[in-house]
Structure 1
Amino acid sequence: MPRSSEWSPPCKQPYTGQVKIEIKPDNFKCKHLNTKFDHINWPVSEVSLQYGGSHYCGATVLSPEYVLTAAHCIFGNSIDDYSVRAGTNTYYTGGTVHRVIEWAYHENYVNEAYWNDDIAVVKVRPDIILGDNIKLTTLPPPGDEPKGGAASVAIGWGSGCYGCAGIPNLQKVNLKIYSHEDCLDIYGFGPTTDMVCSGIPEEEKGVCSGDSGGALLVDGIQVGITSWTRVPCAEYPAVWTKVSHYRDWIAEKTGV
């Protein structure tokens, strides 16, 4: 069994404030496409879940008052330290900032090596105003199963390598879905049927620190919530919480 240090949520990086980190080109393992504001099809549902005023995780807009994210993005922390920045390409400026007033993570979630039931909803004030830069995420039908080999897109502000600083512009990367059987063949253990795997390891394309809680899309539908991966980033397919298996839970908590 791999050492626990070899496994990481792609988001839960320590809050570093304004500390500068030297990034060397040969450290980059995640080959994100660093997009400009007009290179993504706006509006988007992706927002920045912030801890202590800095980007911590991604999230997506369920309704004007709720966003969807990963449980490990909030577990064990104080709600007073969180906010959401919405409607901007950069996580540190622009858009609108919203207080976090309530949250709920899945009752069966346990903060361990493999994040089963890694899903949470966060309630904000004031409401997020939909418009030119921000829209609601589109959820899949209950029980829908992403097909192996399908093209997918991951969106987020994650870093180019594990432990490196995040990239301030919103990014996207084109990936492919793995069948559950193929993902298990690669990992040997860990991914469950409540998870979906995606990536292109042969091209070192994937997600990394700062991407957790963000969306995995297939044909514009959010099939996954970025949950965990093995490091170095992108050398294995990453793992997302399968949204279709939690539609009843989302509806119970938010009415969506």
Structure 2
Amino acid sequence: MKLAALVIAAACLLAPPSLAAPWLRTRGLGRVINGTATDIADFPWMASMQILDNSGCGASVISSTWALTAAHCVLASQEMPGAYTTLRVGSSSRASGGVRLDVAQMIKHADFHMSTDDADNDIGVIQASEPFPLGSSVQVVNLPGDGYDAPAGLPVTISGWGATATEFNPVYLQRADMHVLDRDTCRDMMADVATVTLGMVCAGDPTMAICYGDSGSPLVYGDMQIGIASWTRPGCISTTSVYTSVGNFRAWIRDNTGV
């Protein structure tokens, strides 16, 4: 599976038309290959952040009322005129099933800036207007300790509703298994796109990456979330993609949500 970053066409106000990197333009066909459909029971923390009744980004359930996502997903909703944002949980389908909850508030990192040369601090949280219906298909993902830095070679999985090779806006949840890449190697590989910082973790495979609509989705090691889908190369063709490091921002999450 090759998932790529950023919100779907319905959230095209995410970035100005001239913005090419690190956040991808939201129009055009992404490339997602070697992915497999999966069931929400395998990723019960998975949530669909729905903007204007469309699945704009992924998110993860981190407590009874809070979800974790990317700052640029929050920004997309906050800056879109008349945007109405909800969270769907408990369903493998982004379009039906499970429970759809209104949003009480959204917070993005104060130092996040949508620019072509500063992709850091891409983290945000969303509070649901009522508690998530925790159960077999809706569960809280574990978070790492403060400062946790995933080691190179760690086997990880990304899940999301981002573009596939045949569907720009797939209905059913997809997964891709990959490995964490050494940060220095990733920094060299992605230097022409944006700077890879200590607040980021890289993961990928020669045939797997993130694509349009996967932004904000959780990168997990087992049932522990180590990353948040953030950015990749334009066109989604890359042997690695970049995620916000959850461990690096663990204190920020705690300060803003109490989790």
Question: Per-residue deviation at 1:32?
Answer: 4.6
TM-score by length of 1: 0.85
Residue by residue over 1:43-84, the C-alpha shift from the partner in whole angstroms, topping out at 9 and shown as x without a partner, is 510100000111000000011211000000021425851000
Residue by residue over 1:144-190, the C-alpha shift from the partner in whole angstroms, topping out at 9 and shown as x without a partner, is 1111111110010110259x622111111011111111101212251
Question: Per-residue deviation at 1:10?
Answer: 1.0
> C-alpha distance in 1, partners of 2:43/2:133?
12
TM-score by length of 2: 0.84
> C-alpha distance in 1, partners of 2:63/2:119?
25
Shift of the 161–209 alpha-carbon distance from structure 1 to 2, 3 Å rule, reads farther
1:31 matched residue in structure 2: 33
Question: Per-residue deviation at 1:12?
Answer: 2.2
Unmatched segments (≥5 aa) in structure 1: 1-8, 17-26
Paired residues in the alignment total: 234
Contact 1:91 1:168 in 2 (8 A): yes
> C-alpha distance in 1, partners of 2:30/2:107?
34
Residue by residue over 1:111-142, the C-alpha shift from the partner in whole angstroms, topping out at 9 and shown as x without a partner, is 11242100001111121111010100110111
> C-alpha distance in 1, partners of 2:150/2:221?
8
Matches within 5 A, 1:184-223: 184-188=187-191, 189-200=194-205, 202=206, 204-223=207-226
SS class of match (1:74): helix
Contact 2:45 2:140 in 1 (8 A): yes
1:233 matched residue in structure 2: 236
Contact 2:142 2:224 in 1 (8 A): yes
Unmatched segments (≥5 aa) in structure 2: 12-28
Matches within 5 A, 1:68-147: 68-75=68-75, 76-77=78-79, 81-113=84-116, 114-147=118-151
SS class of match (2:150): coil
**Is 2:50 aligned against 1:50?**
yes
Question: Per-residue deviation at 1:34?
Answer: 2.8
> C-alpha distance in 1, partners of 2:124/2:59?
10
- Please tell me the residue identity of whatever aligns with 1:69: T
Contact 2:30 2:168 in 1 (8 A): no
1:66 matched residue in structure 2: 66
1:23 matched residue in structure 2: none
Query: What value does the CA root-mean-square deviation take over the aligned residues?
Result: 2.1
Residue by residue over 1:174-224, the C-alpha shift from the partner in whole angstroms, topping out at 9 and shown as x without a partner, is 111111111012122511111001111x2x211100100010112321000
